[in-house]
Amino acid sequence: MTGVFVTGTDTGVGKTVVACAIVRALRADGFDVGVMKPCETGVGPDGPLDAIALRDAAGAKDDLALICPQQFAMPAAPTVAASAEGRSVDLDAIRAAYAGLCSAHGFVVSEGAGGLLVPLAKGFTMADFAQELRLPVIIVARAALGTINHTLLTLEAAARRDLDVAGVVISHAGGPLGDSDAANLGSLTASLGARLIGIVPPLAPGAVPSSDAIDLRALRSPSH
């Protein structure tokens, strides 16, 4: 096993929270974990906040330029944010950084931007990145209404591209659910069955998921 790619059904669904939880769990198991946010957009004066959160979770000393080789100011899809600066996303810089992180660490957790079909570069999606690097993917899904469709669409897109889905994690990013949202989520969890590998309940500000919130056995299996 070399790594995992954390994607989501959307932006703002809990990818960073879940990726950091995975990093902490793997570290607790003794892995030397590297982290990557191949492209971060919406980067302001405080730097790439997802990449910084991942680095903190990993306790890694790697340069932020290696963890997050492509950074853009506009909070938009990578191709859009790059174009706003008269630039394009440098895929080779991302590939080189990933190779560097792999040689420095036993396992690399990468967090995508947005969902699987977001364009990372012209004609190249987040799904293409996971496919090129042969990384199993973890799909983070929201708990609230709309999640059945988004989650099943994402699973279908992953299957069409022969991506190896290690599992789905539901994060309660919107806080506690009302009755109808809870019933709706129950329908999704029933249809996911064993593909559901974790649920992150509503967290208090600043809190992190408990170490057993996500079942990482799928990542530890020999095929990964």
Ligand X SMILES: Nc1ncnc2c1ncn2[C@@H]1O[C@H](COP(=O)(O)OP(=O)(O)O)[C@@H](O)[C@H]1O
Which residues are catalytic, by number? Answer: 37
How many CB atoms neighbour CB 76 within 10 A?
17
Q: Residue 172: which of Mg ion, ligand X, none does it interact with, CB under 5 to 8 A by kind?
A: ligand X
Measure the CA–CA gap between 187 and 181, rounded to whole angstroms.
10
Q: Residue 35: which of Mg ion, ligand X, none does it interact with, CB under 5 to 8 A by kind?
A: none
Contact track, Mg ion, 28-57, x by CB under 5 A: ----------------------x-------
Cβ closest to Mg ion, residue 64 vs residue 189: 64
Tell whether the torsion through CA atoms of 211, 180, 174 and 115 is positive or negative.
Answer: positive
Q: What minimum distance in Å lies between the beta carbon of 187 and Mg ion?
A: 27
How many CB atoms neighbour CB 106 within 10 A?
14
Q: What minimum distance in Å lies between the beta carbon of 16 and Mg ion?
A: 3
- 110: Cα within 13 Å, side-chain hemisphere: 30
Interface residues toward ligand X, by CB under 6 A: 8, 11-17, 171-173, 200, 202-203
- Whole-angstrom CA distances from 166 to 5, 175, 179, 196, 219 are 10, 25, 29, 9, 7
Cβ closest to ligand X, residue 20 vs residue 100: 20
Q: Residue 8: which of ligand X, Mg ion, none does it interact with, CB under 5 to 8 A by kind?
A: ligand X
Cβ closest to Mg ion, residue 40 vs residue 181: 40
Read off φ and ψ for residue 38, nearest 5 degrees.
Answer: -55, -40
Cβ closest to ligand X, residue 147 vs residue 171: 171
Q: What minimum distance in Å lies between the beta carbon of 15 and Mg ion?
A: 5
- The answer to whether 62 contacts Mg ion (rule: CB under 5 A) is no
Cβ closest to ligand X, residue 16 vs residue 100: 16
Q: What minimum distance in Å lies between the beta carbon of 166 and Mg ion?
A: 18
Q: Residue 200: which of ligand X, Mg ion, none does it interact with, CB under 5 to 8 A by kind?
A: ligand X
Measure the CA–CA gap between 99 and 116, rounded to whole angstroms.
21
User: In this structure, what token pair is assigned to residue 208?
Assistant: 């992190």
**Which secondary structure element, helix H or strand E, spans residue 217, and what is its range?**
helix 217-220
Measure the CA–CA gap between 79 and 120, rounded to whole angstroms.
6
Q: What minimum distance in Å lies between the beta carbon of 94 and ligand X?
A: 18
Measure the CA–CA gap between 87 and 72, rounded to whole angstroms.
9
The footprint of Mg ion (CB under 5 A) covers 15-16, 50
